[in-house]
A and B are shown apart, each in its own frame.
Chain A
């Protein structure tokens, strides 16, 4: 029997049917068993009570993005399914499990070449006192994919713990019934046995990982205004901060939230906010103030499809321009982008470190595709940075808050320190902080602020480069995952492609990028936006004496590994 390295399934049902719960149980059980995987949720245009689907991919290797089509689709019911079924195609060798009592599957499926089998999901659940159809589905998928039943039951037991022993027992009976029902549906989706992970695997979203990374970095205060798809960062941080002694404030808008964190940071507390494009737009003026007044702060932008309100629930990498160029005046600052869900943790922690060390705003460009995906990852390594603001030391001379120093970073006092009083100011100022409109002050402070960022040692965190080959895929942020998977697939066909992905967007990592591109003949730019913001940005900094190709597209259609690999194959065959 040949077993699968990857299997993708969708559990669909109307809101409240428990499709998402079924997906969560299955992915957790897979994580316990040593597989990798990721889960996204599809909820309909209605805010509540609409259709819901758990989309899950399980894999023997780290999984970065959803498959383009599904191997298994299990439907609790078909209510409203017409509306979203088009966006989750079933593979031609795929299997649809439908309850005859729920009526005919949507035409899109009936007309396709996948196999549709019937299973009386509702009836099986009814036969068990208190039984639920979604738990029958758990059993169906567990059987089809070869998930160990004991792991599934461990997850069910912990999830239903509060509901008591009988609920757990009923859940178990449903799962068994589902497994029995699926026994005749074949073994072609059974996953290869995984290796044992070194430590317990984590199931985490990018939004949670950003929050945890910020806490690891030492964040003590947050203020924010809710916005999709960033809200989960805040909902994670609110109780987490409160539990360790920090605080999160829900502000009246993003103008307030950015200024609240600036006030808190001025008060000596490492601070953060999270938002999406519309909120980032509102924050721009105040971010300029943080640059001029040299106040450390971190802004997480979980990008969504723009412009304007755009598509709030869909991903894009289209805020690069505003993040890098949105400030008025010359305002050097730092922009970073995490390369995966797991990397959200590191990048957020690094962002806090840079903000505190450089006394500068740092914008982190995450996006919906990693922010809201639940992914099984190996526990991210502990990283320690020597994060510290350059401290003010009492001296006999008057304190120069904006003193010109060798590294451009000036000692920063915090309120309460005697002799450290100064006025932080967005007006052009002298070393002391006194407003001044002289050419000298303007030049001196601009030079200093640029210098501190240019002189900073970003180490080897600027990005990653993997593989060899004179064909390079150059990407940034979250698309790195899809590119990695594409390069893996190409490798299986004997095509060597080099990955170069930028985590550090601004300041532009010119030297390491040049080095990473050395020997390249062809470079394919991959990014999820309409105009090729990253390509244009890179081109504005360095010459590109290569054959250039570009794969870029706006949301909501995610650029996937297959498409990236085809771009390379087509190019190769030219």
Chain B
């Protein structure tokens, strides 16, 4: 059912976010509520599912059905829900630690499985919630108490991995560009199959350097493609600050779903009769 004239505030709850003033996640929340208003489905038909982290606090700040799960498992909760309830619009939400470190395996398999849902990762290249440790997307020389002098490890490349694993829609946005984020989220939700949107969302507290992101991001200079090899080459060679929709694939979404009417159990019993 589509409801005309829905406003972003129809998707906002009265719970006050715990986020630090200036945190990029506020903008992600705004973009999501705007996108949902634009999509036109009422809040009770939307489920926002997350793991653990500052970013993963987002479900309770919406007026949708929400699930704030355990660390790293938002994709599994969301996939189970969507397969069980294909009628719902399902958004899975994570941070970079939640989605790429502890939940990394689920990311690969969610891309492969291609369940029709949208996965938004608020990437601040740090563990914000636990007060500033390096995540899989953190630069190798970023100094912190837990990894003095940096991890020395090259960062994980979420978009390439999404492509290689079979995601059907891949995009990157910057939280400060609310218009861009809103548009991309709408497109991601509307695209069949598993859509992945990485949103660069600064952690102003533990990565104050990320306040500069607003000056560093730029729209992609080349149009989106449906050829994963081309998309991969582009994204491997960009500067990491390139935003927009990169790839839109044609794979068929995951087939299984629970129906609304159920058959009888009794006939199944006959198989056991001798």
Contact = CB atoms under 8 A, between A and B. Distances in A.
Interface of A: 28, 31-32, 155, 200-204, 208, 212, 215-216, 220-221, 223, 240, 242-249, 251-253, 255-269, 271, 285-286, 288-289, 293, 376, 379, 415-427, 433-435
Interface string B88-111: 100000000000000001101100
B88 A263 contact: no
B84 interface: yes
Contacts of A31: 274
B69 A259 contact: yes
A416 B106 contact: no
B235 interface: no
A262 B274 contact: no
A271 B81 CA distance: 11
B164 interface: no
B265 A264 contact: no
Contact of B273 (A200, A293, A422): A200
A371 to B, nearest CB: 15
B73 A259 contact: yes
Contacts of B87: 416
B61 to A, nearest CB: 9
A215 B265 contact: yes
B160 interface: no
Cβ-closest 10 pairs across A and B? A263-B80, A260-B80, A423-B66, A259-B76, A264-B84, A245-B259, A263-B81, A31-B274, A244-B263, A263-B77
A262 B69 CA distance: 10
A212 B269 CA distance: 8
B80 A415 contact: no
B272 A415 contact: no
Contact of A208 (B49, B77, B81, B272): B272
A427 B68 contact: yes
A246 B257 CA distance: 7
A263 B64 CA distance: 15
Interface in B47-97: 47-49, 57, 59-60, 63-70, 72-73, 75-85, 87-88
B15 interface: yes
Q: Which of B45, B63, B73, B261 has the most CB of A within 10 A?
A: B73
B84 A267 contact: yes
Contacts of B66: 421-424
B263 A415 contact: no
B226 interface: no
Given A243-B263, A256-B109, 6 more contacts: A221-B83, A259-B76, A263-B79, A267-B85, A376-B274, A421-B66
Contacts of B257: 247
B236 interface: no
A423 B13 CA distance: 11
A223 B68 contact: no
Q: Which of B72, B82, B258, B265 has the most CB of A within 10 A?
A: B258
B274 A252 contact: no
B171 to A, nearest CB: 24
Interface of B: 15, 42-45, 47-49, 57, 59-60, 63-70, 72-73, 75-85, 87-88, 105-106, 108-109, 256-265, 268-269, 272-274
A85 to B, nearest CB: 30
Nearest to B47: A415
B263 A261 contact: no
B8 to A, nearest CB: 16
A253 B66 CA distance: 24
B68 A423 contact: yes
A434 B44 contact: no
Nearest to A197: B274
A220 B106 contact: no
14 contacts: A155-B274, A200-B273, A202-B272, A216-B265, A249-B79, A249-B80, A251-B109, A256-B76, A264-B83, A271-B80, A416-B87, A421-B63, A421-B66, A424-B66
B16 to A, nearest CB: 10
Given A263-B76, A415-B88, A416-B88, A423 B268 contact: no
Query: Main SS of chain B's interface residues?
Result: mixed
B262 A246 contact: yes
A293 B260 CA distance: 25
Given A246-B262, A261-B80, A421-B43, A416 B69 contact: no
B261 A245 contact: yes
B116 to A, nearest CB: 14
A263 B67 contact: yes
Contacts of B263: 243-245
B262 to A, nearest CB: 5
Given A252-B109, A418-B42, A434-B60, A423 B67 contact: yes
Given A220-B84, A418-B44, A247 B258 contact: yes
Nearest to B67: A424
Contacts of B88: 267, 415-416
B258 A416 contact: no
A240 B15 CA distance: 43
Contacts of A263: 49, 67, 76-82, 84
Contacts of A220: 84, 258, 262
Q: Which of A208, A212, A223, A244 has the most CB of B within 10 A?
A: A244
B90 to A, nearest CB: 9
Given A203-B274, A264-B81, A415-B47, A435 B262 contact: no
Q: Which of A32, A201, A243, A416 has the most CB of B within 10 A?
A: A416
A344 to B, nearest CB: 12
A422 B73 CA distance: 19
B273 A201 contact: yes
Contacts of B67: 263, 266, 293, 423-425
A527 to B, nearest CB: 29
B84 A435 contact: no
B272 A203 contact: yes
B85 A269 contact: yes
Nearest to B265: A215
A525 B106 CA distance: 44
Nearest to B50: A423
Nearest to A200: B273
